[in-house]
Structure formats: structure tokens, C-alpha cells
Structure 1
Amino acid sequence: MSVTSAADHEQLKQLLLRIAKQDRDAFGELYRRTSARLFGVCARMLSDRREAEEVLQEAYVSIWQRSASFDPARAGAMTWLVALVRNKAIDRLRQHQGAALDHDFDMDSLADDDPTPASKTESGQDYQRLEDCMEQLESQQRRSIRAAFFSGITYGELAERAKVPLGTMKSWIRRGLMQLRTCLEP
């Protein structure tokens, strides 16, 4: 099931809150609803199916153990889940010397289970809206945001590559994210 509507987001939030109380049924339902999308994140970042499966398994163990740290006031459920999985994948990449972190990331390549036609249209519109907003950013901001958030490159590594101070890189990304938020607001 693709998570796109406000009701879907609310259901995921409630599932995470129930998992924090050790509700195994909620955990199973969360896995059913999110595993395809989260596996897509792992697979794209790691480019190795076996590694992606292992990282996904580790991520779900962390979800079970850390669900009490989920704060719906700070992030949406899917945002929290993707961040957790992304961080696990980055940790795995850093364990392997020579693993390329800076490959291009195509948001269209994320695996997702078969969405309904309505949710497919909505998510396609969301993606197009994000791409339109990304195109409004300066090219350096756009590249830096993609590298930091979709390839796992640290701000320090980005600053070194761009030959700018770390503070400058952080400012570029922060301003870019603020522009994106403004652009994406309804």
C-alpha cells in the first residue's frame, strides 16, 4: 500500500504509537504497509539486494526497539521511518571502505507496492511538485541536497568536494531546504 493520504499518515502514526507499547499486531501491520517502500530506499542506496535485505531487517529491529522515541510533533511517521532506514544504510556503506556514496539517486526508482490509480496519480503529482521546486534551487544547492539526503554524503564531505568552508555548505543546504519548504507548502 502506498502511503499518500492524510488518513494513511495518521494510521502509520497510530501504528508507531502502538508499537511503542509493544503491540506485535501493530508491528506486523506497519511492516505490511511500509516494507516495500523502505526496501526500495535500502536497495537504491546499497545497490546490493542481500545488503539491502540485511539493512531492512536491522531497521525493523530498530523500529521495534526505538518506536517510543517517535515524536509525531517533530516528524511524520513515514519521514521518521525513512530517516531511520536511510541512516542504517549509510552506516552500512561506511562500514565498507570504497563504497560509493555519491551515485546519482533517482527518486522514481524507489520500490513501492502497487498503489491504487488515485494514489499513483497523487504521488506522481507530489513527485513532480518536488522536482519543480528542486529546479528552482541554485544548481549547487540542488546537488548538495540530493547528495546529502539521498546518497548519504556528510556535510563535511560535501564542503571538501566543493572546496568551501563547512559553514558555507551548511548554509547552502539550510537555505535550500527553507526554499523547498516554502515552495511545497500548500
Structure 2
Amino acid sequence: MKFFTKPVKPEDTADEALLNSYRETRDLKVLGRLYERYMPLVYGVGLKYFKDEEQAQDAVMGIFEELAQKVHQHDVKQFRSWLYVLSRNHCLMQLRAGKKLETVTLDEFVEFDPVLHPDNEGREEAMQALERCMDKLIPAQKQSVKLFYLDEKCYKEVADETGFTMNEVKSYIQNGKRNLKICLEKNSGQ
């Protein structure tokens, strides 16, 4: 009985040898030789996502730095394919970090109605109501909402600061905002 396996290309073997050598020695020159083969691929991925040559060039450098760390954390079978995914994820994270997925002002966030709160006194009451409602949120929601809306941090910065995953951060912010809205509506008698 004959088993069919995927043919091994010479560059796959050379990639694996360089990768193993880097893992053993941590010599960045070795990793650089391997990375140099795929720089056009990485640059192309950067260009695809950023649509800007300078940002794509910056991504090539940033991805190399990320590669030097992540190659020790993952069992890489096909370097080229793995590097493509790493490059794509790097670019997406840069795009997300560069802009908030949702930007709102504090007034929009708590949905103040200028007709209901035309003076500073009404605004002060609304701010106090917001503080009381913030205190009713579970700690993870409160922390995520505060960092995102009040401290104006992006999802990635909130995740880095709290240790929550990106999905947890998004969930805490979404649920926290909904809970705040419900609480504020109850307090205002709407």
C-alpha cells in the first residue's frame, strides 16, 4: 500500500532548517535570512490592507519584530503560510488600533437630550446619574466602559490594560452600555 504525501519543496526544507537554527541560537541574522525570502509577500499583504506604501513598509518591520517573538510560541509547519496569516493579523490589528471601531462623544454615549438638560444644573444631575449607574455595573463592564468611553482608549488598548480578550472587551462594552442606558432611563423616568 502506497501513501501519498505532499511533495516537499526545496524551499520548505531550507525554511525549516533556518527556522530550527533560529530557535536554537536566537540569532536574528538567521531569522533575517529566512524573512528576506518572504518580504515581498509581507509587503504585498501590508499594501493590500493599508493601501499606502509607507505604512506597508512599516508593517514589514513590525511583522519582523513580531515574528522574532511568535516563532517561539507556535509550532510552525509551513512557514510561508504561517507568515502570511501573521502578516494579515498584524495589519488588521494595526488598522483597529489606529481607529476606534465606534467613536462617540460622552454626550452621545449617555444620550443626553439638550432640551431636557438645557442648563449646567441639569447636566450635573445627569452626570451624577451616570456615576450612580456606572457603580451598578459589574466590575469588568465598568472598567471596560470607563477605559473605552471616558479614557478614549481603543479595544486593543482596553484588552492590553485589563488582560481581557478582544471578544470579552467588546462584550463588556456592549453590555455595559446597554445596562447604563436601561439604568439611566429608569432614573429619568422615561
Place the TM-score, normalised by the shorter chain, in its bin.
0.3 to 0.5
TM-score, reference length from structure 2 = 0.44
Larger Rg, first or second structure (1 or 2): 2
* Larger relative contact order, structure 1 or 2 (CA cutoff 8 Å, min sep 6): 1
